[in-house]
Amino acid sequence: MCVKSFPLLFVQQMDFQVGERNAAGGRHGMTHDPSWTGYVSAEERRSMLKKGWAGSWRLLALLSTILLGGCSSQNFWLLDAKGVISKTQVHYMVVDVVVMLIIIVPTALLILWSMWRYRRAAGATYSPHWSHSNAIEVVVWGIPLVTVAVLSYYSVKAIYQVNPYNPTVLASAAAPLDQAPLEVDVIATDWRWVFIYPAQHMMSVGKLVIPVNTPVDFRLTSTSVTNDFYIPQLVGMIDVMPGMRVKQAMMATKAGTYEGFSADYSGPGFSWMKFQTEAVPEAQFQAWAKKVQQAPQHMDYAQFDAYAKPYISVGAKPEYFSDVQPGLFAHVIAEVMNGKVWPTPMGMTENMVKYLQKQRASQAQMQGEL
């Protein structure tokens, strides 16, 4: 329910009570009851309005508890930052909110004070010829100018600190660690996330594993429409566009498993376009990399051409590939720039449940043949 509808509730409730009073008065009038005058007095209307406000405020309080029911501490990722970039973004978001509250709270209090101070019963001085006040001019122009200047300063500072192509806050945090950045190429298909580790010649689908306290440099592209790469607890979202290469960087400061997903609608399989991000100690990452490098499945562009076709990834498990073709990321970008597309079958969008059953049956058959 919109907040704007509450005044309407008051009016409707008061009109209902007035209607009941009028109906009763009509009946009394038929019996010549002298207590009915044919109208509702101002005092009665004020009483009805107070009752309407009281009931509506109770409704508003109940509504607020329902809305807060979605604020789970377990999944409230935005403020639970576990990375250098995400912590910086939360810091500047808090700064913006505090600066705005410095304006909003006093303004709201002044409005309430003015309503109380200059009400009719207070007997305030009436000045019909008043037209100007230097003090008010300074307040209404000076405070907004100072606010804009403060917000502009912090905005420019934040832009340089979390710039995806050269985040200065990440460089400052990584300098004492003396850790070379891990390079990961990210390809968004319909509807999966592909992670290529060029230096390790391996590929992971649906799962990103990184060492904790190590900078990670991403290069990202898409085979289809624009997607948004987003890991709320580690790094902000960035557009991933077909035929283009964009960059992103981050560093996890605490080991754990974090949810990543596409934050831009990209078709019928968008809702399941998620991936797990695991930040693990360096030794554990090296052990995982050695295991993936021994995966029986390999990947070159010919295989990727078939793999990039639209796929409904409901309940899909991570997949791993070894011996990944060098330069696969650049090859995909070049093909998309030359007009390569992976069209979505009509049957997939018309009946996704039936197509998913067909997809799983085909996978089971291929695994049986292997």
Torsion 263-267-271-275 (CA) sign: negative
Residue of 280, 235, 285, 241 lying closest to 261 (CA atoms):
235
Place of tokens 């997949």: 319
Distance CA 73, CA 222 (A): 33
The whole-number pLDDT of residue 266 equals 84
The whole-number pLDDT of residue 358 equals 76
* 357-366 tens-digit pLDDT: 777 777 666 5
* 35-90 tens-digit pLDDT: 444 455 666 656 655 555 555 555 665 565 555 555 555 567 778 899 999 999 99
Antiparallel, parallel or unpaired: β 216-222 and 246-250? antiparallel
Strands, E, within the chain: which ranges?
182-188, 193-197, 202-205, 207-211, 216-222, 227-231, 235-240, 246-250, 256-262, 274-280, 298-299, 319-324
Q: How many residues does the chain have?
A: 370
The whole-number pLDDT of residue 265 equals 86
Q: Which phi and psi (to 5°) does residue 204 adopt?
A: -125, 140
The whole-number pLDDT of residue 151 equals 93
The whole-number pLDDT of residue 55 equals 57
The whole-number pLDDT of residue 346 equals 80
Extract the residue ranges of the chain whose pLDDT is less than 50. Answer: 1-38, 370
3-class secondary structure, 88? helix
